[in-house]
């Protein structure tokens, strides 16, 4: 299985702890890895070469980690106009897909606001209380997790029925719980799946490509709920334009 990602373009947003783990995992599988961070010092100990945005992918060979200094959201949007990475690793604080969505909508001339608190409350009420970590009514952000305290088991396989760290029963996939919660409360909703690897997670580039295509088709007045979730944890942005 070592070479199943050979020559695959991997975009890593953030060069911190999880960005490093993911980058090294994909490098070991001969992927072409691009790490983007505003702070070069975070990634200096594990990247192989530095690139600029004009040659970000062309200079990176298989099994090599390249570094690009810049804002991950802005660089991602600019780079995808040339080539779309097959794998995307969100490893920065906050919700990377939420930032991308808001940036694209702003670039398209929309004023992006949080969804009405009354609607957000309806969404929150659809999620069991013991799974909620953060419910930010002002910004329309919901963070959920089966792990309310402590740390997840290392390299957890994320079973559907039980948490390996707490041994508590689970109510199903977190992605399904969020998807069901936002059903009917937004004009457009999409919860993208994060696949766990080496303590980090990645999203299929094709899923993000579809999300971006859908966002470009939205009209003024639309409400959106955009999420990222693995089996155990999730984050959701609820906005309107």
Q: Directed axis angle between helix 96-107 and helix 205-216, to 10°?
A: 30
User: Residues near 42 by Cβ (< 8 Å), separated by ≥ 6?
Assistant: 14, 15, 16, 19
Residues 135-157: tens digit of each pLDDT: 999 999 999 998 776 666 666 66
173-195 pLDDT per residue, tens: 899 999 999 988 999 999 999 99
Question: Which residue do the tokens 């070991």 mark?
Answer: 28
Inform me whether the pLDDT recorded for 172 exceeds 60. Answer: yes
**Confidence check: pLDDT of 39 > 60:** yes
* pLDDT tens-place string over residues 156-170: 666 666 666 676 777
Give the CB-side neighbour count of residue 100, counting CA atoms within 13 A. 27
Task: Tell me the average pLDDT of the chain.
Answer: 90
Percent of the chain clearing pLDDT 90 (strictly above): 73
Question: pLDDT, tens digit, for every residue of 59-118?
Answer: 999 999 999 999 999 999 999 988 999 999 999 999 999 999 999 999 999 999 999 999
Q: Does residue 141 contact residue 236 with C-beta atoms inside 8 Å?
A: yes
Domain regions of the chain by residue span: 9-93, 107-240
pLDDT score at 55: 84
Contacts of 68 (CB under 8 A, 6+ apart): 34, 35, 36, 50, 51, 52, 53, 56, 75
Q: What percent of the chain has pLDDT over 70?
A: 91
């Amino acid at each position: 299985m070592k070479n199943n990602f050979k020559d695959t373009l991997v975009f890593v947003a953030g060069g911190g702890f999880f960005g490093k783990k993911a980058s090294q995992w994909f490098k070991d599988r001969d992927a072409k890895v691009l790490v983007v961070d505003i702070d070069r010092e975070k990634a200096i100990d594990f990247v192989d070469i530095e690139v600029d945005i004009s040659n970000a992918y062309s200079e990176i060979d298989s099994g090599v980690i390249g570094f690009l200094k810049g804002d991950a959201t802005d660089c991602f949007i600019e780079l995808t106009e040339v080539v779309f990475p097959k794998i995307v690793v969100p490893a920065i604080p906050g919700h990377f897909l939420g930032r991308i969505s808001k940036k694209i909508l702003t670039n398209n001339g929309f004023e992006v606001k949080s969804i009405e608190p009354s609607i957000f409350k309806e969404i929150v009420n659809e999620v069991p209380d013991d799974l909620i970590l953060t419910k930010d009514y002002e910004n329309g952000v919901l963070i959920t997790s089966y792990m309310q305290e402590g740390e997840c088991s290392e390299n957890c396989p994320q079973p559907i029925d039980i948490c390996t760290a707490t041994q508590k029963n689970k109510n199903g996939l977190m992605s399904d719980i969020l998807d069901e919660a936002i059903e009917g409360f937004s004009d457009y909703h999409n919860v993208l799946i994060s696949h766990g690897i080496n303590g980090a997670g990645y999203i299929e580039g094709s899923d993000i490509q579809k999300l971006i295509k859908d966002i470009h088709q939205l009209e003024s007045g639309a409400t959106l709920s955009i999420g990222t979730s693995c089996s155990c944890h999730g984050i959701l942005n609820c906005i309107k334009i």
